[in-house]
Structures are given as C-alpha cells and as structure tokens.
C-alpha cells in the first residue's frame, strides 16, 4: 500500500478518536491501527467535470466509497460502472432515483449538478431517507438553502455542503492559528477569486441553472474565506458591479463584483469576484499581531502561503479525499471539522450572496 494511502488512513482514525474538533494536531497525529469502522457508501449525482474529480479522489478514501451513480447520460453510466465497479442495481437516472429509498447499499448522495437543480434534488434525496452532500452554492438563494435545511432536518438526514477547504491542511492550520490568537485581533481580509470563463453556452452563464455568475461559482470562496479567516459573521455589505461583455454576461449573470463586508469587531473585508480575469486565487488577512497570505488559496492545490512566522508547510493531500473521509467521520461519529460544513453554514453564505446582489443593484449598504 502506498505511504500516502497509509497516511490518509492514519489521519482518518485519529480524527475519529477525538470528536468535535478537527485541529491540525489531531489531523496529523498518526496511529498505526488499521481502520475497521463503517464505510460511507456514496452515490454521485451528475457525472460532469467536478463529479469526475470527486470520484477519482474517492479512490483514495478510507472511510467513504463510491458505490452508485445518478445520471442523465447512459453512456457515462456505463463508463463509470466499468471504471469503478458499480453494480447495475446502484445506477439511476433523474426520473427514477427516488427508488434509492429501497437501496440499503447507498447511505448518501453527493449532488454535483448545476446550482439551480440542487434544491429539488436535495429534497428528493432527503425524502428517500439518504444523507445529502450538495455542492456549493447549496442553492440559488438563502430561501432555497433554508428549505433544504428544513427538509433534511424533518427527514432526519444530514445535509452537508461541499466545502472542501474546511478539510484542507494549510487552511485548517491557519484557522487554528487564528483561534489560538497568533494573529492577534483580525483586522482586514482581502479575497480575490476569479477566472476567465470560456464557452458562452454553458449552464454557468444560464441564470435559471446557475442562479448568477461568478459570485455563485467562485466569489463564494472569498465570502466563505472571509468568514473562516476572520472568525466572524458580517453585519453589512456594500458591492459594485462592472460588466464589460453584456452579451456573454446577460441580466442576472454577474461578470465582476467588488464587495466589502463589515464585521462586529470592526474588521473589514474587501473582495473581488470575476469571470473575466485569470490568476485570481488569493487570500490575505492581517491582524494586530501578524498576517497570513495564501496564493493559491482555494484551487485544487497545492495551496501555498506564509504567515509572519514563516511558510505554511503542511502536506498537500487531495482535497476531495480528505473531505469525503472527513464527512464520513462527521456522519458516523459526529467529528466536526474546524469550521462547519452543514446546511446552516451554506445558508450563511447564501444570505451574504443575496445581500451582495441587492447592494450591487441598489448601490446601498445592506445590513445583514
Ligand atoms: P459540469 O457541467 O461539468 O457537470 C454537471 C453535470 O450535471 C453534467 O455533466 C450532468 O451530468 C449533470 N446535469 C444534470 N442536469 C443538467 C443540466 N440541465 N445541464 C447541465 N448538466 C446537467 O459542472 P461541474 O461539475 O463543474 O459543476 C457541478 C457543481 O459542482 C456546481 O454546483 C459547481 O458549483 C460545483 N463545483 C464545485 C467545485 C468545488 O471545488 N467544490 C468545483 C467545480 C464545481 P450527467 O450527464 O451525468 O447527468
């Protein structure tokens, strides 16, 4: 067995033994015992670009396993069946997947479809009695997000959002440093999240399927990052939108938004979300005693960065492998990541996105 796989196994076991906190010390402390606990049996819904990445990463998981698929494309189902040894009885399409209710071989469904479909698909999965992992953004507004939370609660299933950075070692280390007071009082966060989007016909530029443009897709990383880097919830936002290509970025599809957030302590954040510039994946935070800068800060990795104490040296491990093992630990043993990945966490980001859109449209400061 590769040493990387052994490392991940050790890492998962250590996390289980210390519920309720997923600190770097626990994350990296090794145990020599092999893992013999329950395995989270997952079906992926939506076999697109990110679904493929998650499936690959899950091959290295210790506590989670890909066992099923839900897809509208029969040829992809066939390919995945042979690649990942998925039995016919665990394959579904969008019309018949409510039948997972009667399939004891599936514990959870990971929804990796366009944003505008997450809510209805979450509700159907929850009603089938299975745990839901929904990709970010959890829906297209806070109201949808809250409905998803309520339905999953009523169905007594977990709702988790695909916040992979909450398991990423360098990010976890920085959050722990902030909690330990290493930066003193956090004062300012700067987040830059963007890339140049290609194909104008893709669902990401279709309001009904995406719910918005860059903000829903990539700007959300700066919102979520500001919250976990500063350790507070914003109380107001202001925002300014610029559009250079109104044909590609139609009404309701934001191309570039700059936004600011104010926090109860007086800390402020200044962020950029865009679909029209490359090389934007950077977080900077400064406090009364120190600073951290990360670039890249949320890409698939390796994440790189330094603080006033020196470079961040935690190892790179495939984010989605850590995430899925971490989510299995959460579902089976209640091991909480350092920052939550539950539906309520998703709703917090959606409320901020709603407020940013309102602020950009009205030019007003919006109170949260
Ligand atoms: P893709 O377009 O690559 O894949 C989406 C898949 O959803 C399709 O391949 C298709 O799979 C399925 N689908 C179902 N209905 C539709 C429809 N009407 N139009 C298009 N596709 C449909 O998108 P991504 O994989 O990049 O993104 C999916 C989700 O994952 C989004 O919510 C996105 O925000 C999130 N994401 C998260 C990332 C992260 O790092 N956490 C990174 C990238 C994306 P099938 O043919 O099997 O039905």
269 CA distance to ligand 1 middle (Å) = 30
State whether the beta carbon of 218 lies less than 6 angstroms from ligand 1. Answer: no
- 145 CA distance to ligand 1 middle (Å): 18
The answer, yes or no, to whether any atom of ligand 1 lies below 6 A from the CB of 49, is: yes
Q: How far is the CA of 115 from the centre of ligand 1 (A)?
A: 8
Rounded to whole angstroms, how far apart are CA atoms 280 and 195?
7
Query: How many CB atoms lie under 10 A from the CB of residue 324?
Result: 29
Write the CA distances from 79 to 47, 49, 69, 74, 321, integer angstroms: 10, 14, 11, 9, 21
- Residue tagged 């559009």 (tokens): 243
What is the reported pLDDT for 33?
Answer: 76
Please indicate whether residue 299, judged by its CB atom, sits closer than 6 Å to ligand 1.
no
52 Cβ below 6 A of ligand 1: no
- The finding on whether 72 has its CB within 6 A of some atom of ligand 1 is yes
Q: Is the CB of 119 under 6 A from ligand 1?
A: no
For the chain, which residues score pLDDT lower than 50? 1-30
Q: Which residue owns the Cα nearest ligand 1 atom 15?
A: 113
Answer whether 184 contacts ligand 1 (Cβ < 6 A).
no
Q: Do 224 and 163 contact (CB within 8 A), yes or no?
A: yes
pLDDT of residue 31: 52
pLDDT of residue 18: 37
The per-residue pLDDT for range 237-296, each reduced to its tens digit, is 999 999 999 999 999 999 999 999 999 999 999 999 999 999 999 999 999 999 999 999
The answer to pTM > 0.75 is yes
Burial of 245 (0-12, 13-18, 19+ CB in 10 A): exposed
Nearest residue by C-alpha to atom 43 in ligand 1: 50
CA of 243 to the centre of ligand 1 (A): 25
Q: How far is CA 216 from the centre of its chain?
A: 12
d(CA 253, CA 343): 24
CATH of domain 165-315+343-367: 3.30.360.10
Q: Which of 57, 83, 96, 113 to mutate to test the pocket of ligand 1 (most atoms within 8 A of CB)?
A: 113
Give the contacts of 120 (CB within 8 A, at least 6 positions apart).
Answer: none
CATH architecture of 37-163: 3-Layer(aba) Sandwich (3.40)
Express each pLDDT in 42-57 by its tens digit: 999 999 999 999 999 9
CB 185 within 8 A of CB 337: no
- Ligand 1: residue whose CA is nearest its atom 10: 46
Taking the centre of ligand 1 as the mean of its atom positions, its distance from the CA of residue 46, in whole angstroms, is 6
* Residue 225: predicted pLDDT: 98
Radius of gyration of the chain (CA): 20
| pLDDT at 29 (0 to 100) | 42
Q: Pairing relation of β-strands 91-92 and 108-111?
A: unpaired
* Domains of the chain by residue range: 37-163, 165-315+343-367
Phi, psi of 277, deg, nearest 5: -140, 140
Contact 302, 316 (CB under 8 A): yes
CA of 267 to the centre of ligand 1 (A): 35
What is the reported pLDDT for 13? 37
- CA–CA gap between residue 310 and residue 41 (Å, rounded): 40
How many other C-beta atoms can be found within 10 angstroms of the C-beta atom of residue 50? Answer: 16
Q: What tens digit of pLDDT does each residue of 142-172 get?
A: 999 999 999 999 999 999 999 999 999 999 9
Give the integer Cα–Cα distance in Å for 182 and 204: 39
Cβ–ligand 1 contact at 135 (below 6 Å): yes
C-beta separation of 86 from 125 below 8 A: no
Residues 350 and 220: beta-carbon distance below 8 Å = no
User: Which sequence positions are flagged as catalytic?
Assistant: 136, 221
Q: Which two tokens stand for residue 89?
A: 């009885």
Pocket test for ligand 1, best of 44, 45, 47, 51 (most atoms within 8 A of CB): 51
Closest CA to 15 of 7, 4, 23: 23
In angstroms, the CA 124 to CA 244 distance is 39
Quick check: CB of 227 below 6 Å from ligand 1? no
């Amino acid at each position: 067995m590769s040493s990387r796989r052994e490392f991940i196994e050790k890492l998962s076991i250590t996390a289980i033994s210390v519920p309720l906190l997923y600190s770097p010390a626990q994350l990296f402390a090794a145990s020599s015992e092999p893992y013999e606990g329950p395995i989270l049996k997952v079906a992926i819904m939506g076999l697109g670009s990110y679904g493929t990445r998650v499936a690959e990463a899950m091959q290295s998981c210790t506590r989670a396993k890909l066992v099923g698929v839900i897809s509208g494309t029969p040829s992809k189902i066939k390919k995945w069946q042979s690649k990942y040894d998925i039995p016919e009885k665990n394959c579904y399409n969008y019309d018949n997947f409510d039948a997972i209710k009667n399939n004891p071989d599936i514990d959870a469904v990971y929804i990796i479809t366009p944003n505008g479909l997450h809510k209805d698909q979450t509700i159907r999965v929850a009603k089938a009695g299975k745990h839901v992992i929904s990709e970010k953004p959890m829906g297209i507004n806070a109201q949808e997000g809250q409905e998803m939370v309520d339905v999953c609660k009523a169905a007594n299933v977990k709702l988790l959002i695909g916040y992979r950075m909450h398991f990423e070692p360098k990010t976890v280390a920085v959050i722990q440093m902030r909690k330990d007071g290493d930066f003193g009082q956090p004062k300012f966060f700067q987040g830059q999240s963007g890339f140049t989007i290609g194909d104008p016909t893709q669902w990401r530029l279709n309001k009904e399927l995406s719910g918005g443009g860059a903000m829903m897709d990539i700007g959300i990383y700066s919102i979520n990052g500001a919250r976990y880097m500063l350790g507070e919830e914003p109380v107001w936002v202001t925002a300014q939108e610029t559009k250079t290509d109104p044909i590609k970025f139609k009404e309701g599809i934001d191309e570039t938004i700059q936004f600011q957030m104010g926090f109860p302590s007086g800390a402020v954040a200044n962020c950029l979300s865009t679909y029209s510039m490359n090389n934007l994946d950077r977080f900077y935070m400064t406090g009364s005693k120190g600073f951290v800068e990360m670039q890249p800060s949320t890409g698939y990795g390796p994440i790189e960065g330094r603080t006033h104490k020196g470079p961040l040296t935690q190892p790179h491990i495939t984010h989605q492998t850590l995430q899925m093992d971490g989510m299995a630990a959460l579902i089976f043993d209640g091991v909480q990541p350092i920052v939550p990945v539950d539906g309520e966490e998703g709703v917090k980001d959606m409320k901020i996105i709603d407020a940013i859109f309102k602020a950009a449209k009205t030019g007003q400061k919006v109170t949260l």
